[in-house]
Structure 1
Amino acid sequence: MALSDSIGDFLTRIRNAQLAMQRTTKVLFSKVNSSILEILRDEGYILDYQKEVVDNIPSFIVTLKYHEKSPVISDIVRVSKPGCRCYSKYKNITKAYNGLGIFIISTSKGVMTDYNAHKLKVGGEVLCRVF
């Protein structure tokens, strides 16, 4: 069965694994998922991730992060969906949760946070919101 929204599936796997208090979860491999995982690791939302290949099917093993037995990611939501894409100019990008969270944006210069997109003055598709 083919997925119509691989990013939505990726975010749902992370959300469900944290609700179940799992230490790791397995997500599908893609370049966009790799970029999002790198941002989540750099921003401190996850501990680490590793690429794994089983039966010629690549995937990522994500090590989730907890603080005092509660997940660090309290909210991870897909903003731009396949049926309704959400694009934004850099001037119109707002702060997620008054600066406590981040938006992850796919721009012409790669996938980056809202802060970096505003600094580089590039807009793009708002992929997800993390808090």
Structure 2
Amino acid sequence: MPVTDPIADMLTRIRNAVQVRHESLEIPASRMKSSLLKLMVEEGFISSFAAGDEESAEKKLDVQLRYYEDKTPVIQGLKRVSKPGLRVYVGKNEVPRYFGGLGVAFMSTSKGVMTGQQARRQGVGGELLFYIW
């Protein structure tokens, strides 16, 4: 059965894996998910990700979650903002700071997928995908 919102599906899989303290998880692969996971690695929310085995018909991404020394997860929360039924766009002067800068906004812009801070720096707006903190 096809997924109507693949980004929300990815976020839900990550949220569920973090809640039960899994070390890693698999998600179906796409270019958008790969670029979002790359940004999550750069921001320090996950350890790494890699393409799964090429033998299977369905391509997967293996995501390694990140935890502190006392086993508390680095990812405290994820919130989807723009949905297929209600897209949320922000201008270059309206890019939000989530939790006063402690959270990170992920955006899809005309210059590619980037964080809210990168979008402010480059002076672009776009679709506000989700927040992570």
TM-score band, normalised by the shorter chain? over 0.9
**How far is the alpha carbon of 1:57 from its aligned partner?**
1.1
| RMSD of Structure 2 on Structure 1 (CA) | 0.8
Percent sequence identity is: 38
Determine the C-alpha separation between the residues in 2 that align with 1:121 and 1:28. 32
- Pairing 1:90–2:85 present: no
The unaligned stretches of length 5 or more in structure 1 are none
**How far is the alpha carbon of 1:56 from its aligned partner?**
2.1
Larger proportion of strand = 1
Q: What TM-score, normalized to structure 1?
A: 0.97
Once the two structures are superposed, residues 106-130 of structure 1 have per-residue CA deviations (whole angstroms, 9 ceiling, x without a partner) of: 0000000000001111100001100
Report the 3-state secondary structure (helix = DSSP H, G, I; strand = E; otherwise coil) of the residue aligned with 2:9. helix
Report the 3-state secondary structure (helix = DSSP H, G, I; strand = E; otherwise coil) of the residue aligned with 2:85. coil
Report 1:6-21 matches (<5 A): 6-21=6-21
Determine the C-alpha separation between the residues in 2 that align with 1:39 and 1:55. 26
**How far is the alpha carbon of 1:37 from its aligned partner?**
0.1
- Aligned pair count reads 131
**How far is the alpha carbon of 1:54 from its aligned partner?**
4.2
The unaligned stretches of length 5 or more in structure 2 are none
Residue equivalent to 2:43: 43
Residue equivalent to 1:59: 60
Determine the C-alpha separation between the residues in 1 that align with 2:117 and 2:100. 12
Determine the C-alpha separation between the residues in 2 that align with 1:57 and 1:64. 22
Determine the C-alpha separation between the residues in 1 that align with 2:15 and 2:111. 28
AA aligned opposite 2:59: P
AA aligned opposite 2:43: E
CA, structure 1 residues 21+116, in 2 after alignment: closer, same or farther (shift >3 Å)? Answer: same
Report the 3-state secondary structure (helix = DSSP H, G, I; strand = E; otherwise coil) of the residue aligned with 2:49. strand
